[in-house]
Amino acid sequence: MRNFKNKVAVITGAASGFGREFANTGAKLGMKLVLADVFQKGLDQAIAELIATGAEVVGMRCDVSKAEDVEALAALAMTSFGGVNLVFNNAGVGSGGLVWENTVKDWEWVLGVNVWGVIHGVRVFTPLMLAQSQREPDYEGYIVNTASMAGLLSPQLMGAYNVSKHAVVALSETLFHDLNSVHAKIGCSVLCPAFVPTGISQSHRSRPEDLRNTAEPTESMKVAQTMTQKAVSSGKMTAADIAEATFNAIREKRFYIITHAKIMATVKMRLEDLEHMTNPRDPFALKEDARPKLAS
């Protein structure tokens, strides 16, 4: 996809972070926007600010873990603009701690948003896009699923998040092959950034009441939260940088969007462990200062 003007973009997690910058970039390119988030106040602000720039924008509160919400989002896109060209399955949350200390509610929340949100996005929007491509000879479609470098690595104290992002990578790779197998006019990419200053470390603010833990966080959970906040706040790339890299990848039809090239050395180390069937080395072996420190 190279021409974005008047194309329709659907963006989940659009109130802040990557989603907001995807929307900003799309608006500058003349796209029509359908925005979704669970954080109503932030979503309303994003919509108002974008409309003030002259962009065509609609939006709704959407919990991507719920099939009916994503289906309603698709209906909004179709009734408002009559089609969809670009889908960003971007909404995401984070939770950390020793993997055996994550609660059932932790797993349900993280997998619900990070995995089921992408599943619903792919399940709901892909058929609509395929049907539109049959009606429009010059149709261009694209899907971007936001994963993470945690989808290519398995760092300690990030178990639920790692599992969710590995699932997004696997789903995206399968989607790529499935679309090619039917010669679809739809491309796809998986976005795998490292730490970037966004609201991911504060995602618990929108955690549903019925999925909140009643017990105090464990020591490992506190360490993980501190580690994430430090890593996110110290990130050198901005969300706007990630959006620019993502749109460039869409133009180039490049599947893997790796925004932090230095981390590929650690990915290579993991692949070497697989190739040689050796025990996994510490993901922080090449960055000692970032390793989480638990009391012995």
Q: What does the H/E/C string look like for the chain? A: CCCCCCCEEEEECCCCHHHHHHHHHHHHCCCEEEEEECCHHHHHHHHHHHHHCCCCEEEEECCCCCHHHHHHHHHHHHHHHCCCCEEEECCCCCCCECHHHCCHHHHHHHHHHHHHHHHHHHHHHHHHHHHHHHHCCCCCEEEEEECCHHHCCCCCCEHHHHHHHHHHHHHHHHHHHHHHHCCCCEEEEEEECCCCCCCHHHHHHHCCHHHCCCCCCCHHHHHHHHHHHHHHHCCCCCHHHHHHHHHHHHHHCCCEEECCHHHHHHHHHHHHHHHHCCCCCCCCCCCHHHCCCCCC
Predicted local confidence at residue 195, as pLDDT: 82
Q: How far apart are CA 179 and CA 139, in angstroms?
A: 15
Closest CA to 14 of 55, 62, 52, 54: 62
Q: Does domain 8-290 fall into CATH 3.40.50.720? A: yes
Predicted local confidence at residue 164, as pLDDT: 98
> Can you tell me which residue has the tokens 């969007």?
257
Residues of the chain with pLDDT under 50: none
> How long, in residues, is the chain?
296
- 86 has which bridge partners? 9, 142
Closest CA to 55 of 20, 13, 17: 20
Predicted local confidence at residue 156, as pLDDT: 94
Quick: pLDDT tens for 213-227: 999 999 999 999 888
Predicted local confidence at residue 295, as pLDDT: 62
Predicted local confidence at residue 230, as pLDDT: 80
Check if the beta carbon of residue 90 is closer than 8 Å to that of residue 165: no
Predicted local confidence at residue 282, as pLDDT: 94
- pTM reported for the whole predicted model: 0.94
